Amino acid sequence: MSALMWSVLLSLVSAVAYAGGAIVQERVAVVKGATAPLGDPVWWSAVALNGLGAALHVAALALGPLSVVQPLGALTIVFALPMAALFVGRAAGDRTAWRGALLATGGLAGLLTLVSGSGTRTPTGGERIALLAVTAGVLALLLAAARGSRTRPALRAAALATGSGVAFGLGSVFTKAVAADQSDGFVPSGLPSVAAVAVLSAAGLLLSQSAYHAGGLHAPLATLTVVNPVAATVVGLALFGESFRMGGLGAALATGCGLVAAAGLALLSAGRARAGVPAQGGPEEDDGTAAAGLRARRRDGDRGHMATPPARR
């Protein structure tokens, strides 16, 4: 089997692991909030799943181009559809969700057929420093937007999920650079890039946890799933010398396939939100507001308890 096919296979298994991690993260975020899961062994199982996904992702990047590996990561949300139904008893989504899954898969398959192969260069040290500075600036702006949207959970979740997608996408860019640096043996000058991978991966994990806490699973996961490959693929084309078949026509067709995949992910997210998820110990509620719904039930319960007059003896 060719290196490209191995990279595709590893990317698919990686997406399954990431989907499992996202499902567990979101459930912990609903129950324990965004900042209190460190002592929870269930949350650490999500970290382990994300770690497995990351290891497989690194291996895929070592064998194939960013413009193949990163778009395949968008299948995370497609795999999350049946996995959530199978393992946590959620509705698998309506017809809109399944149409979205098919569109996303078809768009990614079309994109895969248009990629010509690995790039011919790696970013220089100056380019990496500039890229890291731009990434830090973008993340700072998104964090400021999230901070200013505390009363609007949907906007806050979107800003945090976008930041998570940027962090994960650029983490993959630096991972690809490290793999290229070490292809001929250990190179000490690649250590700053290794540190950048660690920082960006941690930032992506924490931002995604906060996004799931603010907006449930599917809207934030769809957002970061789209942003991640877009950010990494753009950098891969610009700095790694990657290209598409058929020149300009291939680039145009690839853009169209990417738009089809993005539309599919949006439909999938909308369909899953309408399907709802079983609330803990109660009726179904919309998954996009799972955390808010849980907090509202607690507040209503407190108010009801206070409003109930004491029983007459």
pLDDT tens digits, 197-214: 999 989 998 898 888 888
Whether residue 286 is contained in a domain is answered as no
DSSP state of 309: P
Whether residue 294 is contained in a domain is answered as no
Whether residue 303 is contained in a domain is answered as no
pLDDT tens digits, 41-91: 777 888 888 889 888 988 888 887 777 787 787 777 778 777 877 766 555
Query: How many CA atoms lie less than 13 Å away from 146 in the CB half-sphere?
Result: 23
Whether 267 has a pLDDT exceeding 80, the answer reads: no
For 238, 259, 269, 270, the CA distances from 93, given in Å and listed in that order, are 38, 22, 9, 9
Whether residue 312 is contained in a domain is answered as no
Residue 243, helix vs strand vs coil: strand
Kind of pairing, strands 284-285 and 277-278? antiparallel
Cβ neighbourhood burial of 47 (10 Å; 0-12, 13-18, 19+): middle
pLDDT tens digits, 49-59: 888 988 898 88
Q: Which domain holds residue 263?
A: 3-275
Whether residue 114 is contained in a domain is answered as yes
- The answer to whether 239 touches 66, Cβ cutoff 8 Å, is no
**Residue 150 or residue 285, greater confidence:** 150
Give Cα 136 to chain centroid, integer Å. Answer: 18
Total of domains in the chain: 1
Retrieve residue 6's tokens.
């191995």
Cβ neighbourhood burial of 22 (10 Å; 0-12, 13-18, 19+): buried
Whether residue 292 is contained in a domain is answered as no
Residue 285, helix vs strand vs coil: strand
Whether residue 65 is contained in a domain is answered as yes
pLDDT of residue 186: 57
Whether residue 180 is contained in a domain is answered as yes
In DSSP notation, 115-184 reads EEE--S----HHHHHHHHHHHHHHHHHHHHHHHTTTT-HHHHHHHHHHHHHHHHHHHHHHHHHHHHHGGG
